[in-house]
A and B are shown apart, each in its own frame.
Chain A
């Protein structure tokens, strides 16, 4: 199972883009990269996922490097409500899932 490395914390100004990096150098070929966030003690909320192509949805964009060893989650216009812990999670169809410590994003006015 792939391990991940994320910065412990990051700050972002409200209205600016938030770029959250994740290193997953041991990811295997069949593992997708999922991003979730958790606000306070609520259940984690799905943001986006991808395999090797860049992805975009209404919440965020996901950039995956060509060698798939790292990825970046981009929140294009961060708001105060985006303050949360963000998790990058490699996940295959084996069922096991490792969350890691995540990045605490603080969006400041």
Chain B
């Protein structure tokens, strides 16, 4: 089954403790991206990757890192999480341009 898999589904952590949210797709998609969703602010793009070893900033990249060493994985890294990064995070992937985006189920992150 074609899917985008995020892990973990829920994560509670403390300020400053490095964490990684994983994202994997099984569709051989070139494009992958990360979004955060906050009440009243909708979904905002954090980073995106057009292909392996190619990443670019979205609208809200501060405090986040990503890497794209292989096509199927696009982890989101928070080196020093802060409470304002408490949010619902989504990963998405797409094949060729003009094709639809597939979204993961989301990761609810709480930073205390």
Residues of A within 8 A of B (CB): 32, 34, 36, 41-46, 49, 87, 92-93, 95-102
Q: Which of B59, B102, B104 contacts A98 (CB 8 A)?
A: B59
Q: Which of A43, A44, A46, A99 contacts B44 (CB 8 A)?
A: A99
Residues of B within 8 A of A (CB): 4, 31, 33, 35, 37, 42-45, 48-50, 56, 58-59, 88, 90, 92, 97-98, 100-106, 108
Rounded to whole angstroms, the CA-CA distance of A17 and B44 in the bound complex is 30
- Residues of B with C-beta under 8 A to A42: 105-106
Q: Contact check, B59 vs A43: say whether CB atoms are below 8 A apart.
A: no
Q: Is the interface of B mostly helix, strand, loop or mixed?
A: strand
Q: Which of B42, B49, B88 contacts A99 (CB 8 A)?
A: B42
Rounded to whole angstroms, the CA-CA distance of A93 and B94 in the bound complex is 10
- Residues of B with C-beta under 8 A to A100: 42
Q: Which of A97, A101, A102 contacts B33 (CB 8 A)?
A: A97
Q: Contact check, B43 vs A44: say whether CB atoms are below 8 A apart.
A: yes
Q: Contact check, A41 vs B45: say whether CB atoms are below 8 A apart.
A: no
Q: Contact check, B48 vs A97: say whether CB atoms are below 8 A apart.
A: yes
Rounded to whole angstroms, the CA-CA distance of A101 and B39 in the bound complex is 10
Q: Contact check, B104 vs A96: say whether CB atoms are below 8 A apart.
A: no
Q: How far is the CB of B2 from chain A (nearest CB, A)?
A: 12
Q: Contact check, A96 vs B90: say whether CB atoms are below 8 A apart.
A: no
Q: Contact check, B98 vs A93: say whether CB atoms are below 8 A apart.
A: yes
Q: Contact check, A46 vs B56: say whether CB atoms are below 8 A apart.
A: no
A99-B44, A100-B42 as given contacts; A46 in contact with B100, CB under 8 Å: yes
Q: Contact check, B106 vs A49: say whether CB atoms are below 8 A apart.
A: no
Residue among B43, B97, B98, B104 facing the most chain A CB atoms (10 A cut-off): B43
Residue among A41, A97, A98 facing the most chain B CB atoms (10 A cut-off): A97
A34-B100, A43-B90, A49-B100 as given contacts; A96 in contact with B105, CB under 8 Å: no
